Amino acid sequence: MKKKILFVITKSNFGGAQKYVYDIARSLPAEKFEALVTVGGTGSLVQKLKEQKIRVIPTSSLSRDINTKSDLTAFFELLKIFRNEKPDVVHLNSAKAGGVGALAARIAGVPKIIFTAHGWAFNEERPCYQRMVIKFFSWLTVFLSHKTIAVSDAIKHDTSLWPFVQNKVVVIKNGIVSPDFYYREDARKILLSKNTLPFPADAQIIGTIAELHKSKGLEYAIDAFAKIASTNPSLYYVIIGEGSERTNLEKVIKNNNLVGRVILAGFVEDAARLLPAFDIFVLPSVTEALGFVLLEAGLAKLPVVATRVGGIPEIIDDHTTGLLVDSRNPDALAEAIDTILMDESKARTFSNNLFNKTVAEFSLSRVVSETISLYMGK
């Protein structure tokens, strides 16, 4: 008899956590597993799952923000789904789905509850009391789950002092299948269509793909770009992604007199396919669980500058597969970007090394195999 695996995730956009759910759900052997997904919203994830003929159960009450009324509604909604579907495994993803879903799954008597920690919300810039409350509920989620998958050593390290859960947390680092990259010329044409000011033919482009969120540290990257823009007139910075920080970032761009040089390209479907348009990839995060987009940049053979936070150093070995700098440090970011711009040989070495590391250590097949072992109780 097939094992029924019910994935639960809060949002239906197509960020790192959603790619994780999509990749595992579609990669489970069909003769052994039935995969279905419960998700809030009607974003890209839903359509992609349906294209793979994976059943989707929509929930109206799952949302990222804390709201007592909607959280209580989500709890009862998930409890009903678990009782109706009777899954062998509930695989929870994201903080909200994890916290509400773990309790509902316990009450519903689900035999195995797996929670994947894609990052801890208590590491984000929030008031101290909020971080304390979030940390408690994060611990409770891990406590209620049978196993918690940490997507990086850094994520597991954050739980090292938590009581009663040390034997519950295992590290399974993210894996990836290469995106169907556009050719460089085609990728640049698509970027041009997003920007009313065309790039010159000889443009060098720094790129970032990220949600416009405070945790991504994008204002520091814009400030860094301002420090090198005047001496590199053919250099542009393109940020692909959308989010709550757009208005603030537009102000940062204007205050630095970088309108037309720094472009907020907005949301782009399957944005990773555009990576070949860039000459350098920058990830200036303030907090980051692992940095799935760095694996995509690695497969695109881009030189990378990133911050030394969270699980990023597990992908980027400083001065070997890229350059690492401290977060919130525009001067250091600018210097690292300039180093790569000035040394093509070094840039090529970094990009080749990152490509080889990504292929060798971050395969999706490894992730699926290790995750199936948890489903089977091994």
pLDDT digits (tens, 9 = 90+) for 215-270: 999 999 999 999 999 999 999 999 999 999 999 999 999 999 999 999 999 999 89
Residue 109 burial (10 A CB sphere; 0-12, 13-18, 19+): exposed
User: Within this chain, do residues 259 and 225 fall inside the same structural domain, yes or no?
Assistant: yes
- Predicted confidence band at 375 (pLDDT cuts at 50, 70, 90)? very high
Same domain (yes/no): 238, 152:
no
Q: Are residues 194 and 125 in the same domain?
A: no
In this prediction the pTM is 0.93
Amino acid code (one letter) for 150: A
Query: CA 378, CA 374: separation in Å to the nearest integer?
Result: 6
Q: What is the mean pLDDT of the chain?
A: 94
Q: How many domains does the chain have?
A: 2
**What proportion of the chain, given as a percentage, has pLDDT over 90?**
86
134 shares its domain with 154: yes
* Predicted confidence band of residue 96 (pLDDT cuts 50, 70, 90): confident
pLDDT beyond 80 at 63: no
* Cα angle for residues 150, 274, 300 (degrees, 5° grid): 60
Domain membership of residue 224 as a residue range = 184-361
Residues 171 and 308 in one domain: no
| CATH code: domain of residue 260 | 3.40.50.2000
> 103 and 21 in one domain?
yes
Higher pLDDT, 273 or 41: 273
d(CA 331, CA 218): 14
* pLDDT at residue number 68: 64
pLDDT digit string (tens) for 122-159?
998 889 999 999 999 999 999 999 999 999 999 999 99
Whether 161 and 201 share a structural domain? no
In the predicted structure, residue 67 carries a pLDDT above the cut 70: no
* Predicted confidence (pLDDT) at residue 330 exceeds the cutoff of 80: yes
Asked whether residue 226 falls in the same domain as residue 271, the answer is yes
Same domain membership, residue 146 and residue 74: yes
Measured CA to CA in angstroms, residue 276 lies from 184, 199, 254, 268, 308 at distances of 5, 15, 27, 15, 24
Q: Domain check: are 151 and 251 in the same one?
A: no
- If one compares 117 and 377, the residue with the highest pLDDT of the two is 117
DSSP 29-97: -TTTEEEEEEEES-SHHHHHHHHTT-EEEEESS--SS--HHHHHHHHHHHHHHHHHH--SEEEEESHHH
SS3 230: coil
Decide if pLDDT at 106 tops 60.
Answer: yes
Are 33 and 104 part of one and the same domain?
A: yes
Shared domain for 195 and 48, answered yes or no, is no
Report the percent of the chain where pLDDT is more than 70.
98
pLDDT of residue 273 exceeding 70, the answer is yes
Question: Which letter does DSSP use for residue 176 in this model?
Answer: B
The model's pLDDT over 276-301, given as tens digits with 9 standing for 90+, comes to 999 999 999 999 999 999 999 999 99
